[in-house]
Amino acid sequence: MQATDIMIHVRNDLNLEQKQLVEEKLRTIDGVIAPRFNKDHLLLIYYNHDKTQSSVLLNTVKSIGYKAQLVGF
């Protein structure tokens, strides 16, 4: 298993329920191990790089309707 993590900056102001929805949606992706907001706008996702890609994770957040970008790229 090739585990790694990425950080996504979500530019929208999300309440707790919205954050939980994003985390739940990410958990449905094969290979996602632990998605969590560690700050209001920063989403840290620990995942298996052999099973999914950072672009899939970013596009999942965007598909919910939020403005987001990868941090550090």
pLDDT for 73 equals 65
By percentage, how much of the chain surpasses pLDDT 90? Answer: 90
In this structure, the number of other CB atoms found within 10 A of the CB of residue 21 comes to 13
Residue-wise pLDDT tens digits, 24-55: 999 999 999 999 999 889 999 999 999 999 99
> Residue 62, SS3?
helix
What pTM does this model have? Answer: 0.92
Which fold is adopted by the domain 3-70? Answer: Alpha-Beta Plaits (3.30.70)
Helix (H) or strand (E) holding 56: helix 54-63
Domain regions of the chain by residue span: 3-70
Q: At residue 65, what are phi and psi to the nearest 5 degrees?
A: 115, 10
